[in-house]
Structure 1
Amino acid sequence: MTTQAELDPDEHRRAALVQSLPTVTDDTPLMAELQQDARRRIELRGRRFPRPAETRVVTVANQKGGVGKTTTTVNLAAALAQSGLNVLVLDNDPQGNASTALGVEHRAGTPSIYEVLVEGAPIAEAVQESPDVPNLWCLPATIDLSGAEIELVSMVARETRLRSALDTYLQWRIDNGLERIDYVLVDCPPSLGLLTVNAFVVAREVLIPIQCEYYALEGLSQLLKTIQLIQAHLNRDLHVSTILLTMYDARTNLAQQVASEVREHFPERTLRTTVPRSVRISEAPSYGQTVMTYDAGSSGALAYLEAAREIAERGAATTDVTPSNSATAESGAEEDR
């Protein structure tokens, strides 16, 4: 059987370079990390990821704070965009950290997701393109969004306002001869309110970042139950498609144990790639950038690039996911734990 590497000279060259890397053992963890980074540079640099058959809308959620939701959202978005895909980020968190990292304007008074949710403004009037990454757009969040929870309570169809606005925007792009958006990534706050409910209703998929530390699975069972409720009443297509392990430190037994436990309970959903603890990832937002542009050769950037490839390849390989039982099964597995 002919392999892709044999058909594609570029793939053959990549494979040969990876084969030439030195062999490492468990006794050389630093060398193993260096080899992994070298392999990722060879395999991923300049590679274009496959386009999904239709726009994938993914909400990045975890009710536990500090697990890397915003960091994951912006860096996966940048990685997908750098690899030839059209990506839109919906910053649905009043803190506006995703807007900061993508370098888009989000001072008070800037057209934002607040106007879209509360005033019914079209997304096309508020969306901005990232100055650092072509084909990456952001619907920013301003401080005004902090009051949106209260204002939405009395509104008609309050849970579906973001979904309606996004559907209209995606159709508007097609009607105006613009390229289709391949991925929509939604960043949402850690609390469960109307903003988060809108984020779950607008999406078809949920990506859950899990921190490789103690209490990592705290609240995960409740999150899965919340997703079940959304499935039952507001969005039957919603399902957990991806789990990403973040802040991973291979030198500690704790991180390895957490990773092993997550993979045991969610084997089909958990990405092979883990995102390491990285100073570069932490520094990038203070410069108004993602780590993908701040230091593209760093371990953190390469990890997010590989995670993005996994997500893109999974989406291209399986376009027919059965969502109805996924959250139920995962909730049961979590309760068994």
Structure 2
Amino acid sequence: MKRIIILAAATLLLMHGSVLAGTAYDFPAVGQASTTLRVEGSGDIEAIAPLIRDFQAMQPGLSITYVDSLTNELYSTLELQCNKGEITADLVFSSSADHMVKLANDGCAQPHQSNETRRLPDHAVWHDEVFGFTFEPAVIVYNRDLVPPADVPSSRDQLVELLRRRAAEYMGRVGTYDIARSGIGYLFAFFDAQQSSAFGRLLEGLGRAQARLYCCTGELLDDIASGKILIGYNLLGSYAYGRLKAGAPIGIVLPRDYTLVLTRAAFVPKHAANPQAGKRFLDYLVSVRGQHVAAQSAFFFAYGQPLPDGVEAMDPDVQSGIYRPIGIGPSLLAVTDSQKRNRLLDEWRDVFPAAGE
């Protein structure tokens, strides 16, 4: 197994004149190093490493550095670098696809066309600049050892009803993202509000249950697995399934009323140091080979493929009807609209006054 060198952990990295909060991982070349690729993104190393290693098997002279950051921090850094015209990473990606579309709309991405990108469905590409490369449902996760089967919610209405009916048992033992801190949490909440007339009831139910708020998927999954909380709402299914495969005592439910589906968005920055290397890696990520590796070893869900073992969902014959993909396109610009954001955050803070602290 290739050696991964951790260059910095939850520290401030100085790069190209800008400060980026994150963790950097170095993947030395398989053969004699001849070129270097720098990738910045929001994605756990356990998910990204299999893709990097497989790409290096095809490019044995390529050394790769990957910097993992929180979505909001990544966005702020990329925006600053773009505005200052600084040399940047060669490829960037984020689970907050709205951030990537906003940056591209502001002129921070360079266009790219290839046989691989032309294969993408319309909802996974925008202006030949921003490209989606994953299929990640937002799921309900529960502690399999501590939540009785009769309590496992299969929809938002069932979750709200559970928190009302068994208020004492679940008080303070439900968790979700703090949308004031988490870019992916805000993205999911925005589309929840668009998709469901029951969003207000859901928000009220979470508030009444004194739901715990988290910045990150990993912390949520840690607390569900340990039993500190019993149910998590709107978690990234890819990370949850990774924990399930590793033996965590969790269950995963695709909500049967509708299931939001995220595609991580990537682009080659306008001022990339090595844009050709970035484009080659981008092509790999959306290729048949890259998608196969992602489904088997990284993100576990994929378009047109059966659900991973152990995921609870409706009858597979009607499964496709519940998916609500968050397409990469102009609709995501509404997510970054400051007035809409402030309204949603005001509604959130009415329920969770300490949000963002």
Same fold (TM over 0.5): no
More helix by share: 1
Using the size of structure 2 for normalisation, the TM-score is 0.28
More strand by share: 2
